[in-house]
Structure 1
Amino acid sequence: MNPYVIVSILVAYFGVLMVIAYFTSRNADTQTFFTANKKSPWYLVAFGMIGTSLSGVTFISVPGNVGNTQFAYFQFVLGNLVGYLVIATVLMPLYYRLNLVSIYTYLEQRFGFWSYKTGSFFFLLSRTIGAAFRLFLVAAVLQIGVFQQWGIPFSVNVLITIFLIWIYTFQGGIKTIVWTDTFQTFFLVSAVAISVYLISKELGLSLGQMVATVRESEYGQIFHWDPKSSKYFWKQFIAGAFIAIAMTGLDQDLMQKNLTCKNLQDAQKNMLSFCTVFVVVNLLFLTLGALLYLFAESRGIAIPGRTDYLYPTLALKSFGLLAAVFFLLGITASSYASADSALAALTTAFCIDFLNFDKRTEEDRKKIKFRVHVGFSVLLYLIILIFEALNDESVVTAVFTAAGYTYGPLLGLFAFGMLTRLPVRDRFVPLICVISPILCYIINKNSEAWLNGYRFGFEILILNGFLTFLGLLLLSKKRVAEPEVIPGE
């Protein structure tokens, strides 16, 4: 695909984002940046969350990983639905009842200062790593499609990518993102649907034939029942539930969008609507992955060594102009929809949780917000360059592996706070939350020798949360904690 065509498409695309940013950021203050003044329509939040949740990881790595894991990822998606139900019925009522902006202020009310700072720190760590991984994908695609042909290094490519995100989010924040994510999700879903259609057409398959071909192929297996396999159903299903709770329900990024709805009922409608579309879109991505491998086999095309590059390579070089255009729009939309909200959420959490934002004047808030926004942009840039230098595995695996270690302490903290009334020795909480991931890493590295061949997958998150919970229990005090923050009371 001609790089000048790609650049023209991207210029037009970002032109629309800038127009949206202009209209949504007029008369915006810091409250608009953090909460959108609690006026977001629930249906826009629901649709936009698809783009944020799926991101470039799903867009590229899930189809690419079908060659290694078939449709096993769908077991994980089914588990996600259970997690989303818990979020809608347990976590959201708590957040709305306490009128939270940063969800980690719950930990201060429940446990104390150090628990609060520890929870927010682990979010900042988790989301920074996750956002960097996701942005790496779109930068890699643009490197293949444009910058490599012009001799522009990857580092400059990444700088341009992050700058574009920063410039349309720095003023309107979460209010702008609710609208831009809706726009971007439309292109994400359209891109995968059109890709499936065009590849099926290239293979000469009708809709019914396409479904039958995928189902009967070696790639179409959904359920796996070998307990020692990382694809084992119960591993994937249970891990999917807990990862949804941790990476969505305990994540400032996605919860910040939900908390911009005007009331709890709208936020719950948003979450339940989102679940339906989420399942359908993930099935489309898995179907796309099977079709990509079937197409490559039918044409004698070699599979790239890094399967994350399978879809971009074929879309940009083998399927024609229309497929290439929509692929480019899809990967751009998916990656930016995730990264822009992550940047706003990181800024929100750091300002509120670490800089005593509520005690400052509006003028000081604007200055601090600007500096923090720039600071996290620079941090993402550096992490992406490190990831490019070191990564040697599928990005989807890397993201969820990192999540298992960094979201685990959050899962343990919130579970202990909501399932017990025991207070903790607050000053020891940071130590517990550091030791737990270290123990998990040691257990994971030795699990095959120690546990009769058992290998951990995404469920390492559950072990991490359990160890954190156990550590908090061992160091808990005997008196009963204040009951006002317990859900349902």
Structure 2
Amino acid sequence: MSPVILLSIILIYFAVLLGIAFYTSRNSSNESFFIGNRNSKWWLVAFGMIGTSLSGMTFISVPGTVGLKGFDYFQVVIGYWLGYFAVAFILLPLYYKLKLTSIYTYLEGRLGGTAYKTGALFFILSRTLGATLRLYLVIKVLEKFVLEGMGIPFEATAIIILGLILLYTYRGGVKTIVWTDTLQTTFMLLALIICVGYILHALHLTTGAGWTMMQEHGYTKLLETDPQKGGFFLKQILGGAFITIAMTGLDQEMMQKNISVSNVKDSQKNMLTLSFLQAFVVFIFLMLGGLLYLYGMSKGGSFQHIMVNGKDTVQFLLDGKNIIGDNIFPELAFHYMPPVISVIFIIGLISALFPSADGALTALTSSFCIDILGIRRKQGMTEAQQKKTRMFVHYTFAVLFLICVFIFRMVDNGSLIQTLLVVAGYTYGPLLALFVFGIFTNRNVRKEFVPIICIAAPVICYMIKQNEAKWLGGYQIGTELLIINASLTFLLLLLSSKRGRVETGHVQ
């Protein structure tokens, strides 16, 4: 299909988002930007958060993993499901009780200002890296399959996409995003269902027959039973649970939407509904992955083993190109499927992109303004002055996003979902430890040690991870990296702490 037509579809889609943004941001204020005036509908938030929690990473990278690892990723998703219950019944009641705008102000009330700033900065680091990694993946696909044919380079594509996101988020914030995410989640799920249906039809398979064929090729393998391997099911499930607690329950972007709901019971309904919906949707994405490889084989594709730098490497070759991993879905959608599927793929892709990028940009702006700059505490600072500061921070983070996207382009390894989980393991560990220490102990931290400990623990974990084969006797660290990092941070905090629970009660 002509790149001009595909670009036109993207622009029409974006025009719809702008219309929603214009309507929902009327009479907007800083309060509506930060927490949507706490009047969002729980069911609307739950549905829209599917798009936020999945993102373009799930849309492209998760199906791509099936060729090598089967349904291995679903072990992590089972852990996600368990983690949502901890968020719903431990963290959400705490946030509502304290009437928080930024969830990191809990750390100030419990552990003091240094812990508060440290926690907020680790969120900012974590979410910036995670969001830009997801953003990079989608921009790469749009540049390669849509804009490159028009002579538009990667750098220009990235600038255009970020500019579009800025246009519809800078005014309305959470109040706008709750509605745009709902629209985009709808389009993403429709694209998923249509693509699955098309492949089954093209291969003359029923759903049951398709499942049987995937089983015959080993694509539906779920549980890894070797404890030494990084994909061992207990590691994956436990790691997934703590990833959800950290990346959802301790993440300002995700909680910003949850606490925009009027009361804690409805917010808990949102969280539990999301847990079931997310598990179901990821399962369908994994099924799509198996079907994509079957479809690729029907077009002449095959798996081959080659030696790369002395290592046996598996490739999936189709017409001389290796499309295993992140490349298989876009390659097949654009070059081996009808034009209408190319259009549906593009709509699904950008629908998966925007909920993760726009929410992250808004949450990072909120956290930096509230937690680092403290604009809601400064006496004499007018609403107009706060808005001016907020907009400057918003634009600054957009530039930072752009820089990170360019960096990820240089270090792309071809399967970014695993990279995302590793990044989360390093950056969310200290944040998780700070909250666990505050909630489950009666001790107080020594403020001068908090930043040192929160930096030292991930560095130590990185050293262990790099030398795991030699130091751990062949044991491979998987998603439990987050647990190891948080446990080490917690232990160091405990060893350096002092008796007596100091609570200032100052929250915001």
Range class of TM-score, shorter chain: over 0.9
Q: Which residue of 1 aligns with 2:176?
A: 176
- Asked if residue 251 in structure 1 is aligned to residue 251 in structure 2, the reply is yes
Distance 2:442 2:500 in 1: 9
Which of these residues, 273, 298, 314, is aligned with residue 332 of structure 2? Answer: 314
1:43-89 Cα shifts (integer Å, max 9, x gaps): 11000000000001111000011112110101100010110000000
Distance 2:394 2:383 in 1: 16
Which of these residues, 471, 491, 496, is aligned with residue 475 of structure 1? Answer: 496
Which of these residues, 324, 347, 351, is aligned with residue 329 of structure 1? Answer: 347
Distance 2:329 2:49 in 1: 23
Alignment of 1:172-321 (within 5 A): 172-301=172-301, 302=317, 304=322, 307-321=325-339
Distance 2:348 2:284 in 1: 13
Change (3 A) 1:484 1:375: closer
Q: Which residue of 2 aligns with 1:406?
A: 427
SS at match of 1:149: helix
Q: Which residue of 2 aligns with 1:415?
A: 436
- Asked if residue 340 in structure 1 is aligned to residue 358 in structure 2, the reply is yes
Alignment of 1:458-473 (within 5 A): 458-473=479-494
Distance 1:198 1:144 in 2: 23
Q: How far apart are 1:484 and its partner, in Å? A: 6.9
Change (3 A) 1:365 1:484: closer
Q: How far apart are 1:138 and its partner, in Å? A: 1.5
SS at match of 2:371: helix
Q: Which runs of 5+ in 1 are unaligned?
A: none
1:416-471 Cα shifts (integer Å, max 9, x gaps): 11111111101210000000000000111111211110011121111000011001
1:286-323 Cα shifts (integer Å, max 9, x gaps): 00101111111221132535621110111111111221
- Asked if residue 349 in structure 1 is aligned to residue 367 in structure 2, the reply is yes
Q: Which residue of 2 aligns with 1:60?
A: 60
Q: Which amino acid aligns with 2:347?
A: L
- Asked if residue 425 in structure 1 is aligned to residue 443 in structure 2, the reply is no
1:354-401 Cα shifts (integer Å, max 9, x gaps): 112112210111100110000000000011011101222411011111
Q: How far apart are 1:218 and its partner, in Å? A: 1.3
Distance 2:217 2:197 in 1: 18
Q: How far apart are 1:35 and its partner, in Å? A: 0.8
**Bigger mean CA deviation after superposition, 476-485 or 7-16:** 476-485
Q: How far apart are 1:216 and its partner, in Å? A: 3.2
Q: Which residue of 2 aligns with 1:105?
A: 105
Contact 1:128 1:380 in 2 (8 A): yes
* TM-score normalised by structure 2 residue count: 0.94
Q: Which residue of 1 aligns with 2:314?
A: none
Distance 1:230 1:68 in 2: 14
Contact 1:185 1:333 in 2 (8 A): yes
Q: Which residue of 1 aligns with 2:399?
A: 378
Q: Which amino acid aligns with 1:470?
A: L
Distance 1:24 1:480 in 2: 43
Runs of 4+ in structure 1 over 4 Å off: none
Distance 1:76 1:215 in 2: 20
Distance 2:41 2:250 in 1: 22
Q: How far apart are 1:108 and its partner, in Å? A: 0.5
SS at match of 1:409: helix
Q: How far apart are 1:263 and its partner, in Å? A: 0.6
Contact 2:24 2:176 in 1 (8 A): yes
Distance 2:171 2:493 in 1: 40
Identical positions, percent = 48
Distance 2:5 2:205 in 1: 30
Distance 1:239 1:289 in 2: 23
Contact 2:236 2:480 in 1 (8 A): yes
Distance 1:272 1:101 in 2: 22
Q: Which residue of 1 aligns with 2:84?
A: 84
Distance 1:393 1:217 in 2: 23
1:114-154 Cα shifts (integer Å, max 9, x gaps): 10000000000010011111111221111122211012110
Q: Which amino acid aligns with 1:136?
A: Y
Q: Which residue of 1 aligns with 2:3?
A: 3
Distance 2:152 2:9 in 1: 19
Distance 1:33 1:306 in 2: 41
Distance 2:414 2:153 in 1: 22
Contact 2:7 2:147 in 1 (8 A): no
Structure having the larger proportion of residues in helix: 1
Distance 2:229 2:151 in 1: 43
Q: How far apart are 1:215 and its partner, in Å? A: 3.0
1:244-279 Cα shifts (integer Å, max 9, x gaps): 000000000000000100010110011111112111
Distance 2:3 2:412 in 1: 26
Q: Which runs of 5+ in 2 are unaligned?
A: 302-316
Distance 1:160 1:193 in 2: 29
**Bigger mean CA deviation after superposition, 387-396 or 431-440:** 387-396
Q: Which residue of 1 aligns with 2:313?
A: none
